């Protein structure tokens, strides 16, 4: 089950108190202060992990606390510092302050870390206060308190190609054809209820595809499943618009594409401006679809390809074209 939003409370550790202690030794009547400093409180860090793909764990555990530092002791011994707490999240997680919405971190790479709450400083022992005029200081300082924050976590899947379209356009079937993914496929609306990922593998290249639940006109007002899943294609450099081409005139097909683009623009103009590849599905049931695609490409001034998710016609060509459109990692 994909959970892509969560709220948690994190608390870093308090610093340990400084100690008041005096050195005592036989035949040395006047010892000196030897109270040690307190240990540092543990930090709370967020770390991205490629082995996670959901925020579900944060529905089971809301509070995350690092260890407190230990009080100092005599002999100028500093107390043990509290252990840091590392909270693992999926790659693509955005960490915000709940109250203000300020983004603290956008963790996109495996192993990427960010300290969200620093531990408190350890207090100073009385040995720190010895001076020529104060040989027996009785004062020490307490450790400072750690920080407590309420964080909002939002997961945006990291994929190379986002597959969008109306319900029953054949997105899940296409994903299963292009990759080894096995999404649920059925002949009713909104079969896909959460994003599905698949991978194209060619030679030394891999391409991650994200299939999101179908969009309908009025999704911005909450119709159908709304806009909530569009966050998962925000990071994609290329969008694949899959359109059912089994019926409808060229003008009707154009209107379907325009409806999709309007919904994307209402979500964010940046998403609607991404490079797009229009793919007309179900060429096996319409012999003239290639001709329609040629006219449609001229009308919308975009690249249009034809495929059949059922028979597999045009699938290898589509996979190769996607590999050409998405730049290799690092470029």
| Alpha-carbon span 16 to 115, nearest angstrom | 20
Is the pLDDT assigned to residue 330 strictly greater than 70? no
Report percent pLDDT > 90 for the chain: 44
Residues 6+ apart with CB under 8 A from 154: 4, 5, 93, 94, 96, 231
What is the dihedral angle through the alpha carbons of 128, 134, 136, 142, rounded to the nearest 10 degrees? -40
pTM of the predicted protein model: 0.79
pLDDT recorded at residue 190: 43
Query: pLDDT for 71-128, tens place per residue?
Result: 999 999 999 999 999 999 999 999 999 999 999 999 999 999 999 999 999 999 999 9
Asked if 309 contacts 318 with a C-beta cutoff of 8 angstroms, the reply is no
Confidence band of 27 (pLDDT split at 50, 70, 90): low
Closest C-alpha among 205, 203, 223 to residue 214: 223
pLDDT range class, residue 187, cuts 50, 70, 90: very low
Mean pLDDT, rounded, for 167-185:
74
Cβ partners under 8 Å of residue 195, min gap 6: 2, 157, 210, 211, 212, 213, 229, 232
Q: What is the mean pLDDT of the chain?
A: 86
Lowest mean pLDDT among 10-19, 218-227, 252-261, 286-295: 218-227
CATH number of the domain at 161-325, please? 3.40.50.300
Query: If pLDDT is split at 50, 70 and 90, which confidence band does 195 have?
Result: confident
Confidence grade of residue 222 (pLDDT, cut at 50, 70, 90): low
Q: Sorting pLDDT into bands at 50, 70 and 90, what band is 28?
A: low
Check residue 252 and give its pLDDT: 86
Question: How many beta carbons lie within 10 A of that of residue 258, not counting itself?
Answer: 11
Residue ranges per structural domain of the chain: 5-155, 161-325
- Note the CATH architecture for domain 5-155: Distorted Sandwich (2.70)
Q: Kindly report the CA angle at 164 between 161 and 167, in degrees rounded to 5?
A: 150
């Amino acid at each position: 089950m994909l959970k892509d939003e969560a709220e948690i409370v994190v608390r870093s550790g308090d610093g340990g108190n400084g100690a008041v202690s005096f050195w005592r030794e036989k035949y040395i009547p006047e010892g000196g202060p030897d109270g040690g400093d307190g240990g540092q409180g543990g930090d709370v860090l967020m770390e991205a992990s490629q082995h996670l793909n959901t925020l579900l764990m944060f529905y089971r555990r809301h509070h995350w606390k690092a260890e407190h530092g230990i009080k100092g002791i005599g002999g100028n011994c500093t107390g043990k510092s509290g252990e840091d707490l590392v909270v693992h999240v999926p790659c693509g997680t955005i960490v915000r302050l709940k109250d203000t919405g300020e983004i603290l971190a956008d963790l996109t790479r495996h192993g990427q870390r960010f300290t969200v709450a620093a531990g408190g400083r350890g207090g100073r022992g009385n040995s720190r206060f010895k001076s020529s005029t104060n040989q027996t200081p009785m004062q020490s300082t307490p450790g400072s308190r750690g920080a407590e924050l309420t964080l909002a976590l939002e997961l945006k899947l990291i994929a190379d190609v986002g597959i969008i379209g109306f319900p029953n356009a054949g997105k899940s079937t296409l994903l299963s054809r292009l990759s080894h993914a096995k999404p649920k496929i059925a002949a009713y609306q909104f079969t896909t209820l959460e994003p599905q990922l698949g991978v194209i593998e060619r030679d030394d290249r891999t391409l991650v595809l994200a299939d999101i639940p179908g969009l309908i006109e009025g999704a911005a007002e909450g119709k159908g499943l709304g806009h909530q899943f569009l966050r998962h294609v925000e990071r994609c450099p290329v969008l694949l618009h899959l359109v059912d081409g089994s019926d409808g005139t060229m003008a009707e097909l154009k209107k379907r594409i325009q409806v999709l683009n309007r919904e994307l623009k209402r979500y964010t103009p940046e998403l609607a401006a991404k490079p797009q590849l229009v793919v007309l599905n179900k060429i096996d049931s319409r012999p003239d679809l290639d001709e329609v695609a040629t006219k449609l490409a001229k009308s919308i001034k975009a690249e249009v390809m034809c495929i059949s998710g059922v028979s597999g016609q045009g699938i290898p060509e589509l996979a190769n074209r996607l590999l050409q459109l998405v730049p290799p990692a690092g470029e």
